[in-house]
Structure 1
């Protein structure tokens, strides 16, 4: 999936979770998704709803978009696996040590990534990888 539509991305999450429940063989990327979903039991009923692709999540109503949250988690896991942007993996390792919990540390990184993406969209520029790593470093107490 290089540039999936909203529905394609959502379908991917639903299908990975279905395959896990059915005991089907998962691809490595689907395994990553399942690991992330297992950290979020509050989203599991949604992923078992065949109509979930159509759900709307309005931030102005205080709703968190579970698909966006899971997608950001997945992006971070992929980034960490290849240390991209450079320096992210060691910054995360320090943040994880500081937080004492991997999932809590991932949520800190998720906030950093969300801010970098928001700024890139606002400024109509590519995301600033160095600023992203620096934000994680700050949260880890390294900057």
Structure 2
């Protein structure tokens, strides 16, 4: 999935959702998306709802953008799987070892990545891997 938070990626997510429902085989990238979808059943109604999933929604008392939330999870899971950067996987493991659930640990990790990503988009600046790695390392120490 090369595009983030766009109609194209939403279309890809809808396709994965349909494949899950029909029990069709999934590619490695689609398996990652499917895993995120299964972790977030509260988003189920949004995958085939078109642009609605691209906008903030009130779900279980929280305002969340299903597409951005799921997209950040997919990014984090790919980083762990591909060890790119390898600190993502080691941070995840360290947080889990400290008693944080895997899902909440991933939220902490993708929160950092998302903050850096959106700061770079809004400010027109580059997103630096070293900054991300530094923040991941500090996350392990602060928990």
- In the other structure, the counterpart of 2:25 is 25
- Quote the RMSD (CA, aligned, Å): 2.3
- In the other structure, the counterpart of 2:133 is 133
Aligned residues: 138
Q: Residue 79 of structure 1: CA displacement? A: 1.2
* Alignment check: 8 A CA contact 1:57 1:63 kept: no
Q: Structure 1 unaligned runs (5+)?
A: none
What secondary structure is seen at the aligned counterpart in 2 of 1:70?
helix
Which of the two has greater strand per residue? 2
Q: Deviations over 1:25-49 (max 9, x none)?
A: 11111111111111101001222xx
Q: Structure 2 unaligned runs (5+)?
A: none
Q: Residue 9 of structure 1: CA displacement? A: 0.4
In the superposition, the TM-score normalised over structure 1's length comes to 0.83
What secondary structure is seen at the aligned counterpart in 2 of 1:63?
strand
Q: Deviations over 1:2-53 (max 9, x none)?
A: 3478111001111101111111111111111111111101001222xx3x22
Alignment of 1:80-91 (within 5 A): 80-91=80-91
Q: Residue 58 of structure 1: CA displacement? A: 4.4
* Alignment check: 8 A CA contact 2:88 2:136 kept: yes
In the superposition, the TM-score normalised over structure 2's length comes to 0.83
- In the other structure, the counterpart of 2:55 is 57
